[in-house]
Amino acid sequence: MYIPRDITSMLTSSSAPVQIVIGPRQCGKSTLLAHLSGPSVREVTFDDLQMRTLANRDPGLFLEQFSPPVLLDEVHYVPALFPEIKRIVDRVKRERVTSGTPIPVLFRLTGSDQILMDKNVKESLAGRASYFPLNTLTVHEIKKGVDNVSLPDILFRGGWPELYLDRALSPVQYLNDYIRSTIEREIVLSAGIQKQEAFNLVLGLLAARTGMLLDYTNIARDSGVQGVTVKEWVSTLSRTSLVSLLRPYESNLNKRLTRTPKLYFLDTGLAVRLMGWQEQHPLMASPQAGALFETLVYSEILKFLQNYGKSWQLYLWRTKEGEEIDFLLITSSGEAVALDAKMSLQSVHPVRIPPGFAKAFPTVRRLILVTFGGQKVQLSRECLAVPVSDLHDFLLTI
């Protein structure tokens, strides 16, 4: 079974000879590229130590054995390979210019370390490669590709493809293994983090604060770790696409706006596991359910922008007096869209646009209330309710 990904149209329409899909481990990068490439294209994973050693020691010999088109998985492990990829791409370009035929996709690469990938691509593949960020499954992708999945189930499991391809897998065990194998080993070691126990504690504190304003001082106090170290660790988690900071909208005309960002995990399942929840039903009845739903809405919006290559800007809008809009979207044409996440298992009541926001954005006539369930409905003249399962389709209409 294959779950179709929304980013597919971006990849198939790209004319770059090198396509790089970057995102957290186990989010479906290599599965997506293997599906697009077809069975005739060879795939090499650099999780294989022998392949990694060969590619770093003699990249020319390696690519003689695995000539393009080829899919190379977790390529950030083999920096020596990038200059050789550049040489092959440039050679094919010269040949195609002479013959007048278009350049095909030669290399499809995946990686999970943004900093290492950026460094290698900028040094060797500038102008030859296109980046495509991918994260775990969206609500839209799950609902479209998997039968009989409830929203509480998505909130609890997150968007990890394996948890939907094999429903017998325990989300608790799967994510425990992910935390141990990927976060505690790879991320901690690659980032040079020495205090693993302290890092794990900070990770849990961050999960408990997903969807909230990020207070480094507060986390430093509760963990016994210096604030500057907490900032470094948040940066590490951000570059590995596990968390994201939502920056506040700033305007020189309005000094009342807060400058403190919010932190969101990009997968609710991972946040739930780090919080320590073992079962779905107690979680849904807990006070943390609201922040997790807001986290789900944020990740749905951000993944939509990434999957469709939208250059829109996404902000938090909040004043020091407490007026707040959860998500402010500014489209490429300058249109402003206001969205609020509203977790309500019963009826949803209309919400008015805050006066300060209405003054700052007089062209915004309605507030989009993203709800847990229900149907798309006009609650009032200035408030439209859109269930999160329909949010993807709504954003396509903007």
54 pLDDT band, cuts 50/70/90, is very high
Q: What is the mean pLDDT of residues 235-261?
A: 85
**Is the distance from CB of 258 to CB of 191 less than 8 angstroms?**
no
Q: Is the pTM of this model over 0.85?
A: yes
Q: What is the mean pLDDT of residues 346-355?
A: 88
The pLDDT of residue 345: 64
291 pLDDT band, cuts 50/70/90, is very high
Q: What is the mean pLDDT of residues 26-52?
A: 94
Share of the chain above pLDDT 90, in %: 79
pLDDT at 238 over 60: yes
pLDDT at 236 over 80: yes
Using alpha carbons, list the distances in angstroms from residue 144 to 10, 34, 36, 287, 303: 18, 20, 19, 29, 16
The pLDDT of residue 185: 74
The pLDDT of residue 102: 87
Among 52, 45, 108, which residue's Cα sits nearest to residue 79?
52
141-177 tens-digit pLDDT: 999 999 999 999 999 999 999 999 999 999 999 999 9
Distance, CA of 265 to CA of 379 (rounded, Å): 30
pLDDT at 352 over 70: yes
The pLDDT of residue 239: 86
pLDDT at 13 over 70: yes
Q: What is the CATH number of domain 8-133?
A: 3.40.50.300
170 three-class SS: coil
pLDDT at 278 over 60: yes
Distance, CA of 367 to CA of 385 (rounded, Å): 9
The pLDDT of residue 138: 98
Using alpha carbons, list the distances in angstroms from residue 222 to 203, 208, 218, 270: 12, 12, 6, 21
The pLDDT of residue 255: 62
311-330 tens-digit pLDDT: 999 999 998 888 999 999 99
252 pLDDT band, cuts 50/70/90, is low
The maximal CA–CA distance of the chain, rounded, in angstroms, is 66
Q: Average pLDDT, whole number, for the chain? A: 92
The pLDDT of residue 5: 98
What is the domain partition of the chain in residue ranges? Answer: 8-133, 139-396
176-232 tens-digit pLDDT: 999 998 887 777 776 677 788 889 999 999 999 999 999 999 999 999 999 999 999
